[in-house]
Amino acid sequence: MKKIISLILSFVLISSANAFAVSIDDINSVISDTEKYLYDNSQTPTVSSIGGEWLIMGLSRNDGDIPVGYYENYYNNVVNYVKECGGVLHNKKYTEYSRVITALTSIGKDPQNVGGYNLLLPLGDFEKTTWQGINGAIWALIALDCGQYDMPYNADAQIHATREMYVEKIINSQMTVDGHFWAVERVMLMLRQWLCKHFQIIRIIPKCQIV
């Protein structure tokens, strides 16, 4: 399995090297076309992984020519959605909170008061946030760090979370490949998203095991 992973990584590196032969103008043209396509085909963004937060994060980070009203429309839809569900985005999958927090932060909105609800609060519950395993821990840190938010105190939590606890969860995690390299690759990409702000953690991450 390790040999297969090494071969795949080698292929990715070679492919990446060839990709640099493309001009910057070509790359910018593709980005511009993609941005236009996403905008034209998603005129009513709301709380959703598809046509929602990933879309908003991508467009806002690209800093392209998107009307300000587009992001305001998304925010208003989020407020209405949060009110309708009483501030409970999901009973189990707390990455729902992290995803919305990250998207709202990317457009300059405060996730601590969305229709009267603090979307950061659920992340103060360590057990519920990590119910999804390493995914929950990684996305909790991404959400907290994207706006440099303080860890919220969740009075209903049996185990009150800290950043250090989420880091330890990541470090002590094992990821079983079992023939599904894409799953590990996806987790590594999420982890890299958070690590880009925490280079000092990289030297201890190898304690994580892929078996």
Name the burial class of residue 209, with classes exposed (0-12), middle (13-18) and buried (19+) by CB atoms within 10 angstroms of its CB.
exposed
Q: How distant is the alpha carbon of residue 20 from its chain centre? A: 27
Rounded (5°) CA angle 12-17-19? 95
Query: Is it the case that residue 146 has pLDDT exceeding 80?
Result: yes
CA distances, 107 to each of 42, 104, 164, 201 (Å): 17, 5, 27, 28
CA distances from 173 to 168, 199, 202, 211 (A): 8, 19, 15, 11
Dist CA 43 CA 47 (whole Å):
13
Q: How many CB atoms lie within 10 A of CB 68?
A: 8
Q: Between residues 56 and 206, which one has the greater pLDDT?
A: 56
What's the average model confidence in pLDDT over 195-211? 44
pLDDT band at 2 (very low <50, low <70, confident <90, very high): very low
Give the whole-angstrom CA distance, residue 191 versus residue 125. 20
Cα 75 to Cα 81: distance, rounded to the nearest angstrom:
10
Query: What pLDDT does 21 receive?
Result: 66
What's the pLDDT band for 134 if we cut at 50, 70, 90?
confident
**pLDDT in the model for residue 80:** 97
Q: Is the dihedral of CA 187, 189, 194, 197 positive or negative?
A: positive
Two structure tokens written together for 60: 């806002």
> Could you tell me the pTM of the whole model?
0.76
What confidence category does residue 50 fall into, taking pLDDT thresholds of 50, 70 and 90?
A: confident
Least confidently predicted of 38-52, 134-148, 197-211: 197-211
In whole numbers, what is the pLDDT of the chain averaged over residues?
81
SS3 call for 167: helix
Three-state DSSP class for residue 196:
coil
Reduced to 3 DSSP states, what percent helix, strand and coil does the chain have, rounded to the nearest 5? 65, 5, 30
* pLDDT bracket for residue 73 (50, 70, 90): very high
Pairing of strands 174-175, 209-210: parallel
Provide mean pLDDT across the span 54-80.
Answer: 92
Instruction: Identify the CA nearest to 170 among candidates 153, 150, 154, 193.
Output: 193
Asked if pLDDT for residue 149 goes beyond 50, the answer is: yes
How sure is the predictor about 62, in pLDDT bands with cuts at 50, 70 and 90? confident
Strand locations in the chain (E): 174-175, 209-210
What is the structure's pLDDT at 179? 45
Structure tokens at 110: 């405060």
